[in-house]
Structure 1
Amino acid sequence: MSMKFSAIALGVALSFGAGVASAAEPADWSKVAAKKITVFYPGVSPIEWITKGSDHGGARLLKKGETCVGCHEEELADMGQKMASGSKIEPTPIAGKAPAIPVNVQAAHDGENLYLRFNWKEPKASGAAKMDADNQVKVAVMLEGNKVERADQSGCWETCHGDARTMPGADDKKTKYVKGGDLASGKFYDLIQWRSGKGEAHDGYVADKRVMDGGKGLVKAEGKKDGDTWTVVFTRKLAGGGEGDIALATGKTYNFGFAVHDDHAKGRFHQVSMGYTLGIDAKADIVAAKQ
């Protein structure tokens, strides 16, 4: 293994407490069902824009209970292209920004740990200035326990607001948040993240603000680049056990979404998924079956 590959491509596994030795992801991921999910560039489309009928025609359907992905799944790449090019809701387009990335998503569990695997081909770099010079890629996953209003329709968009940092004219210190978010009542998103620079991982949550650490559910996060293909695997205790950790149980489903910060991006300049469901031995968009 070259020093270059080690430095920029291989994420070092990080341990968050006991139990790492017993964690064993599937030996052959090719035997685990994969769902191709397109993450796309969202431009300036906070939840306030999504729910405003005069701006977003789908607001009426959202009020009737329709899901965002139900309306848009077949056009995500086209949507990303419009926003990345600046032709729609993007005042500061980045020339050459990848409008969309198809990602293969897989899930499994062993009765103790949940394993989430993301695999995609790296798009061509934009050549723009590096917003996050330390991390070529970041991957973030959010899980929600069916307590945040509309999370089953809009996915992670309930954490995306027009007054949060990197939005036009917003406070650079204000993070993502859930309106009325509260850990005690369960109104929050469980957040885990992997960063490519040093293989760094975070286990936090988004409630009234985003907190990057404090959880105890994440056992390890690993990533690597093989040629032009990235693979990132999260190992997460089903039971959780820390601040902002959702306890996952067999037979249950949870709201699920993820984001890829490609090409040294930060803040809102990422590619994001619509909202999906994750089932632990339960029917869902992505099923984590016991291995």
Structure 2
Amino acid sequence: MKISRITFAVLSACAFFSTSQAVAADPASINWSKIPAVDVPLFYPGISSYQWLRSDAHKGAGKEVARGDACLSCHDNGDEKELGEKLVQAGPLEPIPVKGKNGFLNLKVQAAYDANNAYIRYQWKTNNPKPTSEYEYYRFDGKEWKVFGGPRLKKEVQEGKTPAIYEDRASIMIDDGKVPMFAQQGCWLTCHDGERDLKQAKKEDVAANTAMQSYKRTDVRKYLPASRNDPMDWSTGKTVEELNKIKAEGGFVDLIQWRAHRSNPVGMTDDGYVLEWRNFDSGKNPFASNLDGQTKQPKFMYDAAKFGAKALTAENRGNKDSFLIKGANAVPFDPNAGWKEGDLLPRYVLSAAEAAGSAADNKAKGEWKDGQWTVVIVRPMNLTNPDDKALKDGDVYNVGFAIHDDQITTRGHQVSFNKTLGFGVKGKVDINAVKLP
């Protein structure tokens, strides 16, 4: 994918060299050929949730998992390909198989750091012959603006009622040793029955739940067992006061997500954490909803003088980058601009300049070329925010990787078993970040 002039201009001005954080080396200037590359095998997990892993259906291993045994105490490194190719097929752990979905993906990971920042580089071959950097749109039906497109697990997409549209995504979960069992069972601690596309809880049940009301959440997303009185049951959430204590003690995992549509065009990733829900850090993300909650109309449209049109259509979408970026190609929405049935505007509007607080810690640069994404995440060292895990010279972290590839979200990713990431350590780790001169 060639970076458009608009995207390039924004990337050039992005916060790699922001005065709001320690100066970062340009990832392109790092000699990555000198940094060891580690192959991290990822596999499709289907609906193998925290609850399923502890059930008798888990090949008699339910009791072992429940007592805290590691995934790799039974599985071997190298099992991922066989597991993924089996689980991606229709069966007990995949009730709604996605046609053409690959069960296995090899992720190359490199890591480096200096006094100010950590640099984590991902490379993977995409299942799609082109980058999927679109996100869902709002479509004007002649009267109202309604969501158009969706991820490939969505019922309407599988039934052919709306096209498959979703961004590629690369994620890393980070634990500094303070989350019980993360070192043994990794990201499976966060995947539970009740979440979206995973025996999803009914909206009315979530709305009636006292704990979810106190969290101000309308659906169930990733959570850690420590956030529930009964970890097997999403509805048994602890009080906000109890959660605040767990968080203050470091009992959460950091979650950094690079997004091909919602963060990459402005040179960033999001910054979040998982405890009682999949939360964003305090502050403001580089992306925001493009729908006005009161008027139910978009907030911004394309600047026709810069983009070539005020909107896209179903016929011409995909022919050019669809990013809607403040300060580059976005202008306030004009309801009297002569909208026609079929006009499309992005669901999200982007802005690096407006990103703020802990949510704006991480920078990134991603490029798709010859069937492969190359993404470099830049994360400041030694952060002190209460919603971040501080990366420090000489320390080791438990990490889990995930890739959402080929127009898919939620559980439709490929994931890794738990790995270890060290920063200049002498002991054995899976990935050892190299200190830059």
TM range (shorter): 0.7 to 0.9
Runs of at least 5 residues in structure 1 that lack an aligned partner in the other structure: none
Please state how far the C-alpha of 1:58 moved relative to its aligned partner: 3.6
- Residue 171 of structure 1 and its aligned partner are, at CA, apart by 4.4
CA distance in 2 between counterparts of 1:187 and 1:263 reads 33
Specify the alignment match of 1:166 in structure 2. Answer: 197
- Partner-residue secondary structure (3-state), 1:180: helix
* CA–CA distance in structure 1, aligned partners of residues 277 and 102 of structure 2: 29
How far is the alpha carbon of 1:65 from its aligned partner? 5.8
1:19 is matched with which residue?
21
Which position in structure 2 is the counterpart of 1:210? 278
Q: In the alignment, what sits opposite 1:245?
A: 388
Once the two structures are superposed, the pairs formed by residues 138-287 of structure 1 within 5 Å of their partners are 138-171=169-202, 173-181=219-227, 182-198=246-262, 199=264, 201-214=269-282, 215=358, 218-282=361-425, 283=427, 284-287=429-432
Contact 1:108 1:289 in 2 (8 A): yes
Number of equivalent positions: 288
Residues 43-83 of structure 1, C-alpha deviations (whole Å, 9 max, x = no match): 00111111234434444554676432452421111111111
Identity among equivalent positions (%) equals 33
Partner of 1:84: 88
Equivalent runs, 1:88-127 vs 2, <5 Å: 88-124=92-128
Flag the structure with larger Rg: 2
Match for residue 48 of structure 2? Answer: 45
In the alignment, what sits opposite 2:37? Answer: 34
8 Å Cα contact 1:11/1:224 also seen in 2: no
User: Within 2, Cα distance between the matches of 1:30 and 1:137?
Assistant: 25
Report which of the two has the higher share of helix. 2
More strand by share: 1
In the aligned structure 2, how far is the partner of 1:160 from the partner of 1:216?
23
Alignment check: 8 A CA contact 1:164 1:175 kept: yes
Question: Is the contact made by 1:259 and 1:271 (CA closer than 8 Å) also made in structure 2?
Answer: yes
Q: 1:142 to 1:165 in 2, by over 3 A?
A: same
- Alpha-carbon distance between aligned partners in 2 of 1:273 and 1:17, rounded to the nearest angstrom: 35
- How far the C-alpha of 1:3 sits from its partner, in A, is 6.1
Q: What code does the residue aligned with 1:75 have?
A: D
Q: Deviation per CA, 1:94-132, whole angstroms, max 9, x where unpaired?
A: 11111111010111111221111110111247xxx7418
CA deviation string 1:173-206 (max 9, x = no partner)? 1110112243112111001111101415210100
**For 1:38 and 1:5, how far apart are their aligned partners in 2?**
35
1:131 matches 2:151: yes
Output the amino acid matched with 2:433. A
- For the Cα contact (< 8 Å) 2:172–2:401, is it kept in 1? yes
Letter in 2 for 1:46: S
For 2:68 and 2:226, the matched residues in 1 are separated by 21
Q: Does the Cα contact within 8 Å between 2:36 and 2:110 map onto a contact in 1?
A: yes
Could you give the per-residue CA deviations for residues 190-227 of structure 1, whole angstroms, max 9, x where no partner exists? Answer: 01111101415210100111112323573301211012
Distance between the aligned counterparts of 1:157 and 1:11, measured in 2? 37
Determine if contact 2:280/2:359 at 8 Å carries over to the other structure. no
TM-score normalised by length of structure 2: 0.60
Let me know the Cα RMSD of the aligned residues.
2.9
TM-score, normalised to structure 1, is: 0.87
The residue that corresponds to 1:288 in the other structure is: 433
